[in-house]
A and B are shown apart, each in its own frame.
Chain A
Amino acid sequence: MNIVVCVKYVPDATADRHFESDNTVDRVGVDGLLSELDEYAVEQALQIKEKAGEGEHTVTALCVGPEKAVDAARKALQMGADAAVHVLDDAIAGSDAVATSLVLAKAIEKIGTPDLIVCGMASTDASMSVVPAMLAERLNLPQVTLASVVETRGDRVRVKRDNEGSTDVIGATLPIVLSVTDQTGEARYPSFKGIMAAKKKPLEVLSLSDLGVDAGRVGLSVAWSQVEETTARPPRTAGEIVTDEDGSGAVALADFLASKKFI
């Protein structure tokens, strides 16, 4: 089985995330890492491989992004992925989800005919949750998204999905695009052995021309949506804090809610 897992390098949510003067996310000046939500995708890809039984099975981590984005692919290799591909090209900077899905789709075609493409449920920076669906559309594959439980048997996949008003069971036959939530279970930490082994695993760097993608179809200037303005919200300033003593907290809380007309 040929499994591709898409991983994104994102600015650390606990760091000072901000925008550049061209309104793109600063992905270089802020500490970055493999998006936490993609760790679950790597974990599920590895578990599916481990359960696949006899035959040759590979998990290839795929990332698109600036030079430092290779850290996301490297982390996936340390966790246990067999190979990694990093699409690196200055022309990609500022791409929207539409262009990113094009680059990912072309890279997946380059990697070979995959049986399964696994994505996280969203990135932790833009958090649009649309790339898996766009990828499925471009590759003309079914999408089985937002899985909280994944079961594979042969070429059949069955997932549990918590929808807005219901919990559903979805069934499909490979190949598919699968996205998984953080409900699928803890992602493994790279072991020392895994970290050492990762250094010897194949990591291929590809440019847009390697993928046959016209540089004029990606990047900020041709994005199908443009950010006009970014404004930092004034930080919330701490309000009144009282310490409860013999029921005083409850009365003060009721007083506050009454003053705001909630009671």
Chain B
Amino acid sequence: MAEKVKAYGAEKVYVIDDAELKGYLVAPKAEALQQLAAQASPSAILFPSTFEGKEVAARLAIKIESGLITDAVDVQAGPVTTQSVFAGSFTVTAKVTQGTPIITVKPNSAAPEEAAGAGAVEAFTPTISDGAKTAQIIASQPRAATGRPELTEAAIVVSGGRGTGGDFAPIEAFADSLGAAVGASRAAVDSGWMPHAFRVGQTGKTVSPQLYVANGISGAIQHRAGMQTSKTIVAVNKDNEAPIFELVDFGVVGDLHTVLPAATAEITKRKG
């Protein structure tokens, strides 16, 4: 990890032995960062916009009396952040006006650029209070690898909804022809067809890929909140009045069970 961030420009890398941190929910991490911030006096503290990142950031903000901005899709000098809000219908710029700016940054919002840094590694040993260790992780089951790109980081996402009728095979085959990640709508997850981790939407994953293909998904506001900022949007749906067609760049009115296998074959043929 230290080598990796060095390649992307880190001048200094603080390493905290996680023996005291793992096994507990976020509180020990916030304590460790509070102590590190006091020592290193950073001009800003950035986190990935994961649920854990946001919660550590939230506790840290109260501890070090600093403002917090979440889900930034861009951070410019200042720092001034850009966020996409209200299901992608507004763009907001903001800045922290108190303390050390704490900002959580959405995955896939900027392409990482290599720039060699000094990458000086320094060990840091925090003191963790017993009070921070009261919520324990009793068991942890890593999610099985799918062999496909990570949903929030994929350049192309192919999703299926109620219209699949529970058969995701055409979705997966089409996704594989494009090297895409597979997603699902709430209807598909609630029906038990796909695990929750695949859900795209307000309470699932927010994705912003180069290409989003919605298949058999009507396009409720909750789903749109999770994919509306995708660069190019394509939909396949039997219902020509599905609201998803209002936001697509290209749409096919047709049965996904015939359109997708044919499109998969066509793409495979063209790719040679």
Contacts of A254 in B (CB 8 A): 263, 266-267, 270
Chain A contact residues, majority secondary structure: mixed
Which residue from B85, B99, B142, B156 sits with its C-beta under 8 Å from A224?
B99
> Are B253 and A253 touching (Cβ within 8 A)?
no
| CB-based contact A137/B58 at 8 Å | yes
- Contact present for B69 and A101 (CB under 8 Å): no
**Given A14-B221, A240-B250: A249 and B59 within 8 A (CB)?**
no
Question: Who on chain A is nearest to B142 by CB?
Answer: A166
The CA-CA distance from A101 to B84 in the complex, in Å, is 23
Chain A residues with CB under 8 A of B228: 236
Please classify how large the interface on chain A is, using the bins under 10, 10 to 19, 20 to 34, 35 or more. 35 or more
A17 within 8 A of B: yes
Q: Are A247 and B262 in contact (CB under 8 A)?
A: yes
**Chain B's nearest CB lies how many Å from the CB of A231?**
5
Q: If A98-B67, A130-B68, A227-B92 touch, does A164 touch B138 (CB 8 Å cutoff)?
A: no
* CB neighbours of B85 from chain A (8 A): 126-127
Structural contact, A164 and B92, CB atoms closer than 8 A: no
Verify if A78 is at the interface (C-beta below 8 Å from B).
Answer: no
Say whether B240 faces chain A, with CB atoms less than 8 Å apart.
yes
A200–chain B nearest beta-carbon distance, Å: 34
Q: Which residues of A contact B (CB under 8 A)?
A: 13-14, 17-19, 23, 37, 96-98, 101, 121-122, 124-134, 136-138, 140, 142-146, 148, 158, 162-173, 176, 181-183, 223-233, 235-236, 238-244, 247, 249-254, 256-258, 260, 262-263
Q: What are 28 inter-chain pairs, A to B, with CB distance below 8 A?
A: A23-B92, A98-B68, A128-B54, A129-B54, A130-B54, A130-B68, A133-B26, A134-B59, A137-B58, A142-B135, A163-B52, A165-B143, A166-B140, A168-B140, A225-B67, A228-B93, A233-B84, A233-B88, A233-B89, A233-B91, A236-B248, A238-B247, A241-B240, A242-B251, A242-B253, A243-B240, A257-B211, A262-B210
